[in-house]
Amino acid sequence: MFADEPRVPGVELEHRYADLEGVRLHYVEAGRGPLVVLLHGFPEFWYSWRFQLPALVEAGYRVVAPDGRGYNLSGKPRGVGSYRVEALARDVRDLVFHLGESRTALVGHDWGAAVAWVAAMRHPEVVGRLAVLNVPHPERFLRGLLSPEQLLRSWYVFALQAPGPPGRLVERLVFRWVRSGWRRDPARPGTFTESDIHHYTQAMSRPGALRCAADYYRALFRRNPLRIAREMRPVEAPTLVVWGERDRYLMPTLAEPDPAWVPDLRVVRLPEASHWVQQDSPEEVNEALLNFLGEDR
């Protein structure tokens, strides 16, 4: 069943499934020790953490990297409402309980970071530490959308809102970008190898995967921003923000949240890394994560 899933040098991964409320999630797992859950972003899958998995296992952690709902081998519920960020955050909580744990260190990048922010606010009982990579706190992002520069950087988010055939066309253009244009996006040449692009393209080619990935963005704009703001709560967990400053999609000024929302905060800026920070600068990201997680040991 998992023969076509990529291997990661330096770590023996177990492929497993978790049957949660309304969805079946596929995940990889390795190591023993305190739990660390890694949440990938768009247009990726668990493989985006290939450089972090061995480092965290070697450091003595139990590491779990799921495919988010709709991605790769995870279930693909129909309906935009299935991809509301509240449902995605609930998946995190339920996965932790499925694993027989009560708390986790939660690490997220891109959409995984957006989910991690919400999980830490809505389910603080399960998030012991929070690390987010290149996605701002929701309050910061909402304010950022008032900036013409950020609106321009986020053009694809609005393009994906198109209904019917125009929306399907945008999905196909996104897939073409994954297959042929994405490799030019990172700050460092060679960050994505031909093999990496093959794996990402294969995952996005699974039936329904592209639609589900687009539905994350569609669900985001089906909610009233004022209601989102009213539902926000301060993050209780110690928090690390890692930010690649050569991000084409998010302004570097969005990196640091208001201390009122995130009182226990550390920020690590990587000037030579792009939005794909943990793949562009894996050694620097691993060092930041291990130093942060090690504060509990």
CB–CB of 77/22 below 8 Å? yes
Catalytic residue among 67, 217, 247, 280: 217
- How many CA atoms are closer than 13 Å to the CA of 227, on its beta-carbon side? 6
Question: What is the chain's length?
Answer: 297
Angle at 155 between CA 212 and CA 232, to 5 degrees: 70
pLDDT score at 226: 65
Catalytic residue among 110, 196, 215, 280: 110
Helix then strand then coil, % of the chain, to nearest 5:
45, 20, 35
CATH topology of domain 14-296: Rossmann fold (3.40.50)
Catalytic residue among 40, 109, 199, 275: 275
Q: Taking the model in full, what pTM does it have?
A: 0.96
Number of C-beta neighbours around residue 252 at 10 A: 14
217 catalytic residue (yes or no): yes
Burial 89-119, CB ≥16 within 10 A → b, else e: bbbbbbbbebbebeebbbbbbbbbbbbbbbb
Q: Give the pairing type, strands 127-133 and 239-246.
A: parallel
Residues sharing a CB contact under 8 Å with residue 83, sequence separation 6 or more, in sequence order: 69, 70, 77, 212, 215, 216, 218, 219
Amino acid (one-letter) located at 141: F
98 catalytic residue (yes or no): no
Q: Give the pairing type, strands 62-66 and 14-20.
A: unpaired
pLDDT score at 84: 94
47 catalytic residue (yes or no): no
Task: State in Å, rounded, how far the first CA of the chain is from the last one.
Answer: 37
Chain-centroid distance of CA 149 in Å reads: 23
Domain ranges of the chain: 14-296
Per-residue pLDDT of the chain (297 residues; tens, 9 = 90+): 677 899 999 999 999 999 999 999 999 999 999 999 999 999 999 999 999 999 999 999 999 999 999 999 999 999 999 999 999 999 999 999 999 999 999 999 999 999 999 999 999 999 999 999 999 999 999 899 889 999 999 988 888 888 777 778 888 888 898 888 888 888 888 899 999 999 999 999 999 999 999 999 999 888 766 677 678 899 999 999 999 999 999 999 999 999 999 999 999 999 999 999 999 999 999 999 999 999 987
Using CB atoms within 10 A of its CB, is residue 5 exposed (0-12), middle (13-18) or buried (19+)?
buried
CA-nearest of 257, 10, 272 to 130 is: 257
d(C-alpha 199, C-alpha 216), whole Å: 21
3-state DSSP call for residue 224?
A: coil
